[in-house]
Copies of this chain bind each other. A is one copy, B any other.
Amino acid sequence: MKSDAESIQAAFRQVQDHIAAYLNEVEGTPFREDKWDFEKGRGGGISRIWEDGKVWEKGGVNFSAIEGDALPTSALAQIALPPGTPYLATGVSLVIHPRNPRVPTIHMNIRYFEAGDKWWFGGGIDCTPYYPVREQIIGFHKALKGLCEKHGRDFTQDKEACDRYFFLPHRNEARGIGGIFFDHVHSDKAVDLEFVTALGYAFPDLYHPFVEGNRDKPYGEREKDFQLYRRSRYVEFNLVYDRGTLFGLQSGGRTESILMSMPPLAAWKYAWKPPEGSEEARLTDDFLKPRDWAGQ
């Protein structure tokens, strides 16, 4: 088991390198790197952060590999393990908040757990546009479908799990235009590892059409205000519902690395709605309704 975990950690480190190289290349200036120790157990992590950049207003890609004495309750959903089971967890996670409101916020995560006599992989990617472009969304979903099919995953199942997971019940609203989400994946360990690392390596190709297609589009105060307003929904999801965030906070992980997912600036307006029929209204009225994008 131990050597498995080590090789998975090594593979995940390479995924972090691959993604960080892409994000560096787009931004044109390198990340800030912080190494940290897991104070509540063994292991630690490496955070790579961009802040106040030309393209990335704030974001980061984290690697962590920790061992602890008691698996937090947030990780116990759907898994039959007693509270207090020792565990090993390793993963790569990223959230990027671009400066230009026409470039979507993106999130990706791959993870591997061992606890008791069980092991499993999890992860996913989902995209949160402010000013969505239909063809880009279709391209994103088609690419994910291709990736799933290549690795023997049921795309429809993972896509629907994403729609269910990245949902704000108190707003009755999807967080974004979806993607894929999977948890408790445990078929063949080598096959599962290949799938999650393939997702990690695919990240630049999955995200780049959104970046390339929108980064030079002009925007003004109206678009920036709308981005800040929508970012507050992202905050609400991550702090109220996201299992990864709650796992991190409950396990005593490094707060600054966990909350690198928070946007640089977010706005709340009381009972505000965009004008009917506006580009901003179409985001929620049209695009944030789960559908079969890959089949369009």
**A residues with CB within 8 A of B:** 32, 34, 49, 51, 58, 60, 169-171, 228, 232, 235-236, 239-240, 246, 249, 255-256, 258-260, 262-271
Contacts and interface: CB of A to CB of B under 8 A. Distances in A.
A268 B267 CA distance: 12
Contacts of A267: 264-266
Contacts of A264: 267-269
Q: Chain B CB within 10 Å — which of A262, A263, A264, A268 has the most?
A: A268
Contacts of A268: 58, 259, 262-266
A49 B265 contact: no
Nearest to A261: B268
A160 to B, nearest CB: 24
Which DSSP category, helix, strand, loop or mixed, fits chain A's interface?
mixed
Query: Copies of this chain, how many?
Result: 2
Contact of A239 (B51, B239, B255, B265): B239
A-B pairs with lowest CB-CB distance, top 7: A239-B239, A262-B268, A256-B271, A170-B249, A170-B255, A49-B270, A265-B267
A267 B51 CA distance: 12
Contacts of A49: 270-271
A260 to B, nearest CB: 6
Determine which residue in A170, A228, A236 has the highest number of CB atoms from chain B within 10 A of its CB, and name it: A170
Nearest to A235: B235
20 contacts: A32-B270, A49-B270, A49-B271, A51-B270, A58-B268, A58-B270, A60-B270, A169-B249, A170-B255, A171-B255, A235-B239, A236-B239, A239-B240, A262-B268, A264-B267, A264-B268, A264-B269, A265-B267, A266-B266, A266-B268
B240 A51 contact: no
Contacts of A51: 269-270
A37 B101 CA distance: 35
Contacts of A171: 255
Nearest to A172: B255
A260 B255 CA distance: 26
Nearest to A173: B255
Contacts of A256: 270-271
Contacts of A246: 240
A73 to B, nearest CB: 13
Nearest to A50: B270
Contacts of A270: 32, 49, 51, 58, 60, 256, 260
Contacts of A60: 270
Contacts of A255: 170-171
A259 B272 CA distance: 12
A203 to B, nearest CB: 20
Contact of A265 (B170, B260, B265, B271): B265
